[in-house]
Amino acid sequence: MQTAATPPRVLGLYDQPFWDLLAESGRMHLQCCSACGAWRYPPGPACHECLSPDCEWKPITGTGELLSWIIFRKQYLPAYPAPYNVIAVRLDEGPTIISNLTSDPTLDDSPIGRRVRLTVARMDDGVALPRFEFADR
Ligand SMILES: [Zn+2]
């Protein structure tokens, strides 16, 4: 049960649409290059493939593969009591995102390579955060 406020996010110049779209739609959107179709994450001013500045924020599938994980056993922030996991997911669109896994927080069996899908956690203070769960359970 969350009792502390969600820590404030440190936003870069191009991050606000990501959080606004997640909160409004319950889906993750990423920048998609209008010139070549490459997905950008983290958000930025130009395409990493073709350098075009043009892009649209488009919804992604929300599915991917778990690349790595770790369990934090020390509590750093009041909103995140230990132990908790941190995972790296390669989205099917290509970018890698760091998040948490909700469906098996102990991660007793190595989950590397397992399919995951996005869920949106609504924190007690109204903040929407991207999380993942196993797609095959
Ligand atoms: Zn491009």
The 10s digit of each residue's pLDDT in 6-34 is 888 889 999 999 999 999 999 999 999 99
**Fold (topology level) of 61-137:** OB fold (Dihydrolipoamide Acetyltransferase, E2P) (2.40.50)
Q: What's the pLDDT band for 48 if we cut at 50, 70, 90?
A: very high
What does the DSSP 8-state code read for residue 8?
Answer: P
Question: 93 C-alpha vs ligand 1 centroid, how far in Å?
Answer: 14
Res 110: pLDDT: 81
Domain boundaries of the chain, sorted by first residue: 12-60, 61-137
Distance 30 CA to ligand 1 centre (A): 13
Q: What is the mean pLDDT of residues 65-71?
A: 94
Q: What is the average pLDDT value for the chain, to the nearest integer?
A: 91
Q: What is the pLDDT of residue 136?
A: 81
pLDDT at site 105: 60
Interior CA angle at 134 toward 112 and 21, to 5°? 110
Determine the pLDDT at residue 98: 96
Q: Which one, of 34, 99, 7, lies nearest residue 62 by Cα?
A: 99
Query: How confident is the model over 35-42, as a mean pLDDT?
Result: 97
pLDDT at 79: 82
**90, 62 contact by CB (below 8 A):** no
**What is the C-alpha to C-alpha distance for residues 81 and 77, in angstroms, rounded to an integer?**
7
Q: Which residues have their alpha-adjacent CB atom under 5 A from ion ligand 1? A: 33, 35-36, 38, 47, 49-50, 52
Q: What is this structure's pTM? A: 0.89
Distance in Å, CA 106 to ligand 1 centroid: 39
Query: How far is Cα 105 from Cα 92, in angstroms, rounded to an integer?
Result: 22
- Give the whole-angstrom CA distance, residue 9 versus residue 98: 14
- For the chain, give the percent of residues with pLDDT over 70: 93
